[in-house]
């Protein structure tokens, strides 16, 4: 039976739902559960929340849209010739809008607790990302730039490798989700972990002008890291890609 590629509208719908769940699940854990006295889940719980949401959404929607849920992933896959550039902008816009909607829903939920406030101008306010004074452990701009570039590149190498035609079938979502958990364990103390501009943008609107003023880093660094991985994966691993007569890219081992 021939497998048909879902139309763009269906793929954007899947991206919207997956990104929504990622931001609500990951940032929601950080806002609602991480700091609860005596029972808070801490850094480990937040890292697992992000990893589990990507894992589950990859298996739920990956067969529809590719399961990007992240502008950096879209750019990295397009750079690596795994995804058409013509669809990149619709994907990125959808992801950012979905992430912002998820942050809005999270704000409504959080605001239902008596006495809830967002301490704007402080590190990690409303799960926002930051450097310098807005870094959870006070890391400077250079350190935050390096960790976001390097770990986003690592994330894209995992995605490209796990979905390579030579890789074992059926395990990509597991590898991708666990790698995102590891990335959060390393970088939450540094930047509160972005590696995803849509995740950073959605919550920054609620975290205040200081978070918005630093948002440029959490677009620039993930996109650069993703592009580096996309541009070098085939060179490093020997992946061969050829254009078939339909214009679709296929992997040749």
Asked whether the predicted pLDDT for residue 246 surpasses 70, the reply is: no
pTM score, whole prediction:
0.93
Question: Would the CA dihedral through 226, 231, 237, 240 be positive or negative?
Answer: positive
pLDDT in tens, 50-96: 999 999 999 999 999 999 999 999 999 999 999 999 999 999 999 99
Query: Rounded mean pLDDT of the chain?
Result: 93
**With the CA atoms of 80, 95, 126 and 207 taken in that order, what torsion angle do they form, in degrees rounded to the nearest 10?**
100
């Amino acid at each position: 039976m021939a497998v048909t590629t879902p139309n763009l509208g269906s793929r954007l719908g899947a991206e919207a739902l997956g990104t929504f769940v990622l931001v609500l699940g990951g940032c929601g854990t950080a806002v609602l559960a991480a700091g609860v006295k005596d029972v808070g889940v801490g850094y480990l719980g937040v890292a697992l929340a992000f990893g589990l949401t990507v894992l589950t959404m990859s298996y739920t929607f990956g067969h529809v849209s590719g399961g990007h849920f992240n502008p950096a992933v879209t750019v990295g896959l397009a750079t690596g010739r795994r995804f058409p550039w013509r669809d990149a902008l619709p994907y990125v816009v959808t992801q950012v809008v979905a992430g912002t909607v998820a942050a809005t829903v999270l704000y409504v939920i959080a605001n239902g607790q008596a006495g809830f406030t967002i301490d704007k101008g402080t590190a990690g306010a409303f799960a926002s990302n930051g450097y310098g004074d807005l870094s959870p452990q006070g890391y400077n701009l250079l350190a935050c730039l390096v960790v976001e570039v390097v770990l986003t590149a690592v994330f894209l190498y995992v995605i490209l490798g796990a979905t390579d035609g030579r890789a074992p079938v059926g395990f990509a979502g597991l590898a991708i989700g666990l790698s995102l958990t590891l990335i959060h364990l390393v970088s939450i103390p540094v930047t509160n972990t972005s590696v995803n501009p849509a995740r950073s943008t959605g919550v920054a609107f609620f975290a205040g002008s200081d978070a918005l003023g630093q948002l440029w880093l959490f677009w620039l660094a993930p996109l650069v890291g993703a592009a580096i991985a996309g541009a070098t994966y085939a060179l490093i691993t020997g992946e061969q890609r050829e254009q078939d007569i339909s214009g679709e890219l296929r992997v040749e081992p």
